[in-house]
Each structure stands twice: as structure tokens, then as C-alpha cells.
């Protein structure tokens, strides 16, 4: 502890967290935000005293401390950090701290605090962990252990962090399939703004990152605080503000009634709740990106250019067609060939065979080897689509083991969704069966990557025969299955997919190497989907593919250069039957693949940045090297603007004291816009580029070209001279 006051100051990466653990109470946040620098014990005491509110108007006499696990026993009338009961008794907690441990943590973490506490009346012990990464990112979790002789029905654990009164605006996300992570803003009013889902996965409409910030905060301006539940099952997030002068952000697992029942000496450990702070969303997101990249398990090798077969062939697994597609993929420079749905069992459409993880001998009489050998001879590695958590009722597995299918109350079978039911992976028999089949496939074939899908929501399904909620146990079983396969097959990569982007969270990313951001490969839609997904997910983990000339998910026709420019800012891939492309299209696509390969070291290591462009028709995003030596930006138009021409736009993230040269980059070296069609040049482009100090490019900016909708150009920034 720091002195007798019980004050602790965690600081790293430009962020300070000051906690008060005085008087035996759970930690209360004195400050979370900008770095306060080194503070003496006397200065910490003065800070805590200086910001302590006048205890007026509270439900109790005297102070009303609101801890990171808020308790009603302190007088707080709002959200509670731990909820549960013992047959209706002990409905609230009053934890008394018994020990506090402060220590350094292994990289990428900097330091942490572990608080032990007990509540004798409720018969509960608590272990609360608070960690800070070198980047300034925070995370919190709590372990609850029951010490009494009867059952404690745990209803929830919801860590919360306060934000200052100046954070008067909220941002979170909603969406649906093919339009994930759509932002929504609103004032931060008195009351509770809650986002919760009972889908068995975060869902297309997940709140994703719940932010509170100064009015009008953007990518590059305004203080912003955000929380995220690192959990791949049911989630709960809320923002709460009361007339008592307290504003909270909270996030955690959403437990169904009766889902976690603790017997004597049994424990529940909550998932990590992540919390990030920054001046602007780019700054807040960078703390997450830098932490992910610092993990020992983060992918280090260059991310391969992927060709996925789904939109090219769907269920038509003709070997001749697939080898022709592989030939075309290799011709344009692809490095990984992912065989999607339809290679196993009786899976000739989406109504049969799911769960039967053996190669379909009627389609592949010699197994997958002819295709695998052909692909590898072309210099590509092989990926495979699986959906281990689901089963078709019309499958050998469901017929042999109906007891492995999750049911609802009274054993009733939930309504089918996408012709699927949920396989109970918490059942040891089901788990071992699926593990054995997938393990055998990976042992037989040189599979570099599994595209791991999750195509239906769990819904009302329970755990037979108890009928208790299944999501908590199912989610842990899925993560354990992934980890077991990766341990048995070192180097195996897993891509998380859930009907597209319905399972994108920092929990699943500790077990996987890539997210499929959306089943929409329409580059017009992907511009926004990828922008907001990249708030937490760096580009090397964000699957982004070039679709067909007419996107199958929207029937929108889009130019090849635009489709490629959007996919460039991600883990680049192709979702298109390239055998149907003509020679000129293949040459152009090959140019973009080569550009990605040339620029991916920057794209997959640099700082992700966005300009605050006031015109909604345009977007400017990019990547800047951490040392400020180079950058790559995309100027993107998705609608007609009400202004001709656009005003100068700032290029964010450059070093103020460097002088740079800015020029058009990539295959699009000539402007494709209305003004260009009329023969009206953009002066600095006509001059072959612009040379300016970073402080000028960052504060004044450059004039941007007038573009047609669904067009993009790249700007390459290099040192001048």
C-alpha cells in the first residue's frame, strides 16, 4: 500500500488510475484518465481529499463511496457490482478488504492490484484483480467464492468505472447482419442506458465499446472513456448517471437465472472487463491495438493474402472448379486458399450434414489430398471452414446422439435457425467427439487455418437434463476446444466468424488470430464496418476481402479499384470467383495484391488513424509508422457531397518536426473524379506531389480531390528529400 491511506497510483502509457482502498472498503476510483505524473504520498492524499464530494443529498449520512464493484450497503442506489442470493436471503453485499497486493505484471502488463475481501454475512469471498498494460489499457475481473453450506445463486458480476461530469455524450454500436457495428450517439442523461443480449454470442447489434466523452468527441479530439466486455457469450453493458454526481460505465457477462449456482467452496471468475481512455477515439483505440500487438501470442509472420471459396462456389465442390480457382488465385498472388462450407458429410446444402466432420467421399473420393496437393504446389497454404458448435438435425451426429443437442425448458427442442441446433459442448462426450474429429483432420492434412463459424444464436437452449442456462458453460467449452486444438497443432491459426461479425470481442481474440468483420463484402458497406471494427481490432486481425464486381450481399456494382482500396486496410483477401475475371481485371487485381504485400509491414504495425472529416460523403483513414517515418492514407468517397471541391483535410498522426512528401500511391495514379473528367487538375497532384512539414499537414492539411461516389485514392507519405 501507499502509506496508511490505502491510495494506489497505477500509471503507464499516458494514463493514470488512482484507487482508494481506505477504511477496509473496496477500491474507489479517485482518478481515471490523463497521466498525473509522479505523485508523492502526500500529493495522493491531497488529491483524494481535494476531489472528495461534499456528502450532501445522499441516501445515507456521510460519504457514499462507489467502488469498482458498487454496493448498496454503502448507500449507492444504482447498479450493483455483485448480485445474487441464498434462497432469497443475502441479496446484497458488504465486502471488507482483508489484503491488498500490489506488484509488477509480466509483459504486456505493467502493474496490477489484487484485492482480497470477505462478506461474512453473505458467506462470500472476493478476489478482485485490476491490471494496467504498458499502453495504459486497464482490465478488471472478480472471482466470487461461496463459503457457506448452502447454494449461492449468482446473478451477475459487473465491474464499473466512473467517468467525469464533463463526459456528457455516449457512443456505442448496434447493427444487423451485413451492417455490423453501426455507431449511435446520444446525450448521457440521468438514468441508465443499458445494452444487453441473450444471443449466446455478442451479436450483430453488440454495444461493442461503450464510450462516454466530452461533447462532440471525435477521432482526434475530445477526451473519451470506454469499456468493453471481453466475453464471447451473453454480454451486458451500461452507462449510468445519477443526481448524486456519479457517472459510471460498466460491462461484463450477462448470466441467465440459475446459470451459475455456487456450492460450498465453488467459485465463479468473471471475464475481463477492458477499459480504455484517450484524447480522441484513435488514441483510445491505439491503447488496445498496442496491447494486442505486444502479446507473445500475437501473429508475427506476414499475414497471407487469402482466397476464400464461399462466394465463388458455395456448395459446388467440383474438384476441377476448385483447382481452376486455385490456379487463378495463385496467378494474382494469393498465399492462402480457404475451402469453405460443403466439403464434409452429406453437406450439399445448408440443411444436412453439419456436425459430421469427415470428408465427403462422394465429392472427394480420394479425400482432400488432390486439392491440398494442388494448392500447396502453387505455393499457397490451405485453410478449412468448420462450425463445431452447431449441428443439423439431419446429420449422422444428431441421429446418433440426440442427447448432445441443447434443449429448452422441459426438454423441448428450440425452433430451428438456419436449419441448425446447438451442440452441447459442455457435455464431455460431445466435447471429446468434436475434438477427436477435428484433431484427426488436422493430423491428416496440413491445415494452416480454421475458419470457425457460429451461424445460429443459442436462444432458449439449456443444459439437459437440468434445463439450466447453457451459454456460460458453452462459451468456456468452445474456448477450451480452440485452445486444445492449438496446443496439439502448434502454428494453427483460427479465424472467428459468426454469420459474419456477430462474435468480435477481446475475449475471443485471446484464442484466435483473425476476425471476419462481416459477411458483407460490399466495399461501400465495408468502409464503415471496418472503420468501427478497427476501433478495437488492428488491421492485421481484421479480415477484409475483395468481392465480385456485383456484391452478392447487396447486388451493388462497384469498381475493382474501390473494392481493393477498401480491403487493403485489413487482412487482405479475395472473396470472388477470379476465374470469371477477364485478363485485364486479373492484372489489376495482381497489382493490388502486390501493393498489399509491399505495404503490409506498415499496414499491420503502424498506428491506425482517422481524420475528423465534417463532410459525411468522404472519409480519410490511414496508418502511420510508430516512428513517424511514413504513412499511407485512403481518401474515400461513398456519396455525393454538398460541397465542390472539398476543403483541405488534415493528415493525422504525422510527426510535427519532419518534412514529408505526399503523392498518389498504388494502381490508381490518375484521379477518377468529376473534376478530373472535366480536365480540371488538383494543383499539388498536377505538380507531382507536395512537400510540407508534418505540423502543416497535421494542422492545415491538403486539398483533396473531388471523387465520384464509391471511389478511392491512396496517399503515400514518405520523408522529403
Same domain, yes or no: 111 and 141: yes
> Percent of the chain scored above 70 by pLDDT?
98
pLDDT for 244: 95
Q: 554-590 pLDDT, tens per residue? A: 999 999 999 999 999 999 999 999 999 999 999 999 9
The β-bridge partners of 337 are 307, 382
- By CB atoms closer than 10 A (0-12, 13-18, 19+), residue 51 is exposed
Same domain, yes or no: 373 and 482: yes
Each residue of 679-712: b (16+ CB within 10 Å) or e? eeebebbeeebbebbbebbbeebbebbbbeebbb
Same domain, yes or no: 179 and 250: yes
pLDDT for 677: 79
Residue 235 included in any domain? yes
> Alpha-carbon distance 337 to 383, whole Å?
6
The β-bridge partners of 19 are 8, 29
CATH code of the domain containing 153: 2.70.98.60
Query: Largest Cα–Cα distance of the chain, in whole Å?
Result: 84
> Alpha-carbon distance 509 to 496, whole Å?
8
Same domain, yes or no: 591 and 671: no
pLDDT for 3: 34
Residue 540 included in any domain? yes
Q: 133-170 pLDDT, tens per residue? A: 999 999 999 999 999 999 999 999 999 999 999 999 99
pLDDT for 359: 98
Last residue of a domain, one of 232, 266, 294: 294
Q: Is residue 453 annotated as part of the catalytic site, yes or no?
A: yes
Between 691 and 681, the more confident residue is 691
Residue 218 burial (CB count, 10 A): 17
Omega within 30 of 0 (cis) for the link into 108: yes
Same domain, yes or no: 271 and 340: no
CATH code of the domain containing 710: 2.60.40.1180
Q: 64-100 pLDDT, tens per residue? A: 999 999 999 999 999 999 999 999 999 999 999 999 9
φ/ψ of residue 469, rounded to 5: -55, 140
Residue 123 included in any domain? yes
Same domain, yes or no: 232 and 346: no
Mean pLDDT for the chain overall: 96
> Alpha-carbon distance 495 to 516, whole Å?
7
Residue 84 included in any domain? yes
Are the C-beta atoms of residues 549 and 577 closer than 8 Å to each other?
A: no
The beta strand positions in 105-232, using DSSP E, are 109-119, 124-133, 138-146, 152-157, 160-162, 169-176, 179-187, 191-196, 210-213, 223-229
**What cell does 211 get?**
464510450
Which residue pairs from 35-43 have beta carbons closer than 8 angstroms and sit at least 24 positions apart in sequence?
35/11, 35/136, 36/9, 36/11, 37/11, 39/9, 41/2, 41/3, 41/5, 41/7
Same domain, yes or no: 282 and 347: no
Same domain, yes or no: 377 and 424: yes
Q: Is the pTM of this model over 0.95?
A: yes
Does residue 4 carry a pLDDT above 60?
no
Residue 163 included in any domain? yes
Residue 34 included in any domain? no
**What residues contact residue 511 under an 8 Å CB cut-off, 6+ apart?**
479, 482, 483, 486, 494
Are the C-beta atoms of residues 425 and 358 closer than 8 Å to each other?
A: no
Sequential DSSP letters for 344-357: BTT-SSTTS-TT--
**What cell does 85 get?**
442470493
DSSP state of 580: G
Q: 94-129 pLDDT, tens per residue? A: 999 999 999 999 999 999 999 999 999 999 999 999
pLDDT for 66: 98
Q: 218-230 pLDDT, tens per residue? A: 999 999 999 999 9
Number of domains in the chain: 3
Sequential DSSP letters for 183-207: EEEEE--SEEEEEE--SSS--TT--
Q: Is residue 519 annotated as part of the catalytic site, yes or no?
A: yes
pLDDT for 1: 37
| Average pLDDT of span 2-9 | 67
Same domain, yes or no: 599 and 620: no
Owning domain of residue 556: 306-605
Picking from 176, 257, 258, 201, the residue whose alpha carbon sits closest to that of residue 390 is: 201
SS3 of residue 438 by DSSP? helix
Distances 201 to 250, 485, 707 between C-alpha atoms, Å: 18, 21, 39
Same domain, yes or no: 630 and 539: no
Does residue 462 carry a pLDDT above 80?
no
Half-sphere exposure of 519 toward its Cβ, with a 13 Å CA cutoff? 19
> Alpha-carbon distance 439 to 444, whole Å?
9
DSSP state of 404: G
**What residues contact residue 348 under an 8 Å CB cut-off, 6+ apart?**
315, 342
**What residues contact residue 268 under an 8 Å CB cut-off, 6+ apart?**
143, 144, 154, 157, 260, 262
Q: 31-61 pLDDT, tens per residue? A: 999 999 999 999 999 999 999 999 999 999 9
Q: 286-330 pLDDT, tens per residue? A: 999 999 999 999 999 999 999 999 999 999 999 999 999 999 999
pLDDT for 463: 62
SS3 of residue 22 by DSSP? helix
**Active-site choice (172, 282, 356, 453):** 453
Q: 198-256 pLDDT, tens per residue? A: 999 999 999 999 999 999 999 999 999 999 999 999 999 999 999 999 999 999 999 99
Last residue of a domain, one of 238, 271, 294: 294
Q: 411-451 pLDDT, tens per residue? A: 888 888 999 999 999 999 999 999 999 999 999 999 999 99
Residue 21 included in any domain? no
What's the count of helices (H) and strands (E) in the chain, helices before strands? 14, 38
Confidence of residue 672 (pLDDT cuts 50, 70, 90): low
Residue 14 included in any domain? no
Same domain, yes or no: 597 and 645: no
Same domain, yes or no: 287 and 322: no
Last residue of a domain, one of 550, 574, 605: 605
Are the C-beta atoms of residues 588 and 561 closer than 8 Å to each other?
A: yes
**Active-site choice (519, 522, 665, 710):** 519
**What cell does 251 get?**
460491462
- The sheet carrying 7-12 orders its strands as 7-12, 15-20, 28-34
Between 2 and 628, the more confident residue is 628
**What residues contact residue 340 under an 8 Å CB cut-off, 6+ apart?**
308, 309, 310, 385, 451
SS3 of residue 683 by DSSP? helix
Amino acid at each position: 500500500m501507499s502509506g496508511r491511506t490505502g491510495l494506489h497510483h497505477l500509471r503507464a502509457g499516458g494514463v493514470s488510475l488512482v484507487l482508494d482502498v481506505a477504511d477496509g472498503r473496496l477500491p474507489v476510483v479517485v482518478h481515471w484518465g490523463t497521466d498525473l505524473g509522479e505523485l508523492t504520498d502526500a500529493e495522493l492524499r491531497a488529491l483524494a481529499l481535494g476531489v472528495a464530494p461534499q456528502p450532501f443529498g445522499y441516501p445515507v449520512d456521510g460519504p457514499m463511496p462507489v467502488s469498482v464493484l458498487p454496493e448498496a450497503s454503502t448507500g449507492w442506489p444504482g447498479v450493483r457490482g455483485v448480485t445474487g442470493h441464498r434462497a432469497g436471503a443475502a441479496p446484497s453485499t458488504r465486502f471488507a478488504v482483508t489484503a491488498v497486493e500490489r506488484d509488477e505484471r509480466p509483459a504486456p502488463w505493467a502493474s496490477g492490484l489484487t484485492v482480497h475481501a470477505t462478506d461474512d454475512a453473505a458467506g462470500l469471498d472476493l478476489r478482485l484483480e485490476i491490471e494496467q498494460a504498458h499502453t495504459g489499457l486497464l482490465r478488471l475481473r472478480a472471482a466470487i467464492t461461496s463459503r457457506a453450506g448452502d447454494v449461492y445463486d449468482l446473478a451477475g458480476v459487473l465491474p464499473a468505472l466512473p467517468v467525469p461530469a464533463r463526459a456528457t455524450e455516449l457512443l456505442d454500436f448496434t447493427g444487423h447482419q451485413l451492417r455490423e457495428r453501426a455507431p449511435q450517439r446520444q446525450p448521457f442523461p440521468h438514468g441508465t442506458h443499458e445494452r444487453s443480449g441473450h444471443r449466446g454470442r455478442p451479436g450483430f447489434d453488440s454495444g461493442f465499446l461503450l464510450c462516454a466523452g466530452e461533447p462532440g468527441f471525435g477521432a482526434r479530439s475530445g477526451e473519451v472513456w470506454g469499456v468493453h466486455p471481453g466475453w464471447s457469450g451473453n454480454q451486458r453493458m451500461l452507462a449510468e448517471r445519477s443526481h448524486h454526481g456519479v457517472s459510471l460505465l460498466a460491462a461484463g457477462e450477462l448470466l441467465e437465472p440459475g446459470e451459475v449456482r455456487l456450492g460450498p467452496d465453488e467459485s465463479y471468475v468473471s471475464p475481463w472487463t477492458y477499459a480504455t481512455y484517450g484524447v480522441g477515439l484513435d488514441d483510445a483505440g491505439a491503447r488496445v491495438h498496442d496491447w494486442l500487438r505486444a502479446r507473445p501470442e500475437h501473429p508475427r509472420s506476414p499475414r497471407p493474402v487469402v482466397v476464400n471459396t464461399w462466394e465463388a462456389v458455395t456448395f459446388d465442390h467440383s474438384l476441377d472448379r476448385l483447382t481452376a480457382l486455385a490456379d487463378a488465385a495463385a496467378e494474382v498472388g494469393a498465399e492462402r486458399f480457404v475451402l469453405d462450407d460443403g466439403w464434409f458429410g452429406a453437406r450439399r446444402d445448408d440443411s444436412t450434414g453439419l456436425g459430421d466432420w469427415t470428408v465427403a467421399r462422394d465429392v472427394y473420393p480420394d479425400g482432400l489430398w488432390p486439392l491440398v496437393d494442388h494448392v500447396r504446389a502453387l505455393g499457397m497454404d490451405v485453410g478449412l471452414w468448420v462450425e463445431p458448435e452447431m449441428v443439423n438435425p439431419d446429420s449422422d451426429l444428431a441421429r446418433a446422439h440426440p442427447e448432445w443437442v441443447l434443449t429448452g425448458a422441459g426438454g423441448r427442442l428450440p425452433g430451428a435457425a438456419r436449419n441448425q441446433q446447438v451442440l452441447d459442448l459442455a457435455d464431455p462426450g460431445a466435447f471429446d467427439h468434436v475434438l477427436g474429429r477435428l484433431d484427426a483432420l488436422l493430423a491428416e492434412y496440413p491445415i494452416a487455418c480454421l475458419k470457425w463459424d457460429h451461424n445460429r444464436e443459442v436462444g432458449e437452449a439449456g443444459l439437459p437434463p437440468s434445463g439450466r442456462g447453457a451459454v456460460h458453460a458453452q462459451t468456456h467449452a468452445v474456448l477450451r476446444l480452440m485452445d486444445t486444438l492449438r496446443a496439439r497443432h502448434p502454428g494453427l491459426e483460427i479465424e472467428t466468424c459468426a454469420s459474419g461479425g456477430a462474435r468480435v470481442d477481446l475475449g475471443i481474440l485471446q484464442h484466435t488470430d483473425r476476425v471476419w468483420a462481416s459477411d458483407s463484402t460490399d466495399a461501400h458497406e465495408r468502409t464503415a464496418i471496418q472503420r468501427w471494427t478497427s476501433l478495437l481490432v488492428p488491421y492485421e486481425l481484421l479480415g477484409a476481402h475483395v468481392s465480385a464486381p456485383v456484391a452478392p450481399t447487396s447486388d451493388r456494382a462497384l469498381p475493382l479499384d474501390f473494392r481493393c482500396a477498401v480491403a487493403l486496410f485489413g487482412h487482405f483477401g479475395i472473396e470472388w470467383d477470379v476465374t470469371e475475371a477477364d485478363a485485364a481485371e486479373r492484372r489489376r487485381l495482381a497489382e493490388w495484391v502486390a501493393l498489399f504485400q509491399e505495404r503490409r509491414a506498415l499496414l499491420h504495425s503502424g498506428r491506425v488513424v482517422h481524420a475528423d472529416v465534417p463532410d459525411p460523403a468522404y472519409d480519410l483513414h490511414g496508418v502511420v509508422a510508430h516512428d513517424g517515418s511514413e504513412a499511407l492514407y485512403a481518401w474515400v468517397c461513398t456519396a455525393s457531397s454538398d460541397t465542390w471541391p472539398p476543403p483541405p483535410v488534415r493528415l493525422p498522426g504525422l510527426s510535427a518536426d519532419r518534412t514529408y512528401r505526399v503523392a498518389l500511391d498504388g494502381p490508381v495514379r490518375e484521379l477518377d473524379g468529376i473534376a478530373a473528367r472535366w480536365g480540371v487538375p488538383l494543383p499539388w497532384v498536377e505538380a507531382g506531389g507536395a512537400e510540407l512539414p508534418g505540423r502543416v499537414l497535421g494542422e492545415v492539411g491538403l486539398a483533396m480531390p473531388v471523387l465520384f461516389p464509391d471511389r478511392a485514392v491512396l496517399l503515400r507519405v514518405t520523408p522529403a528529400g
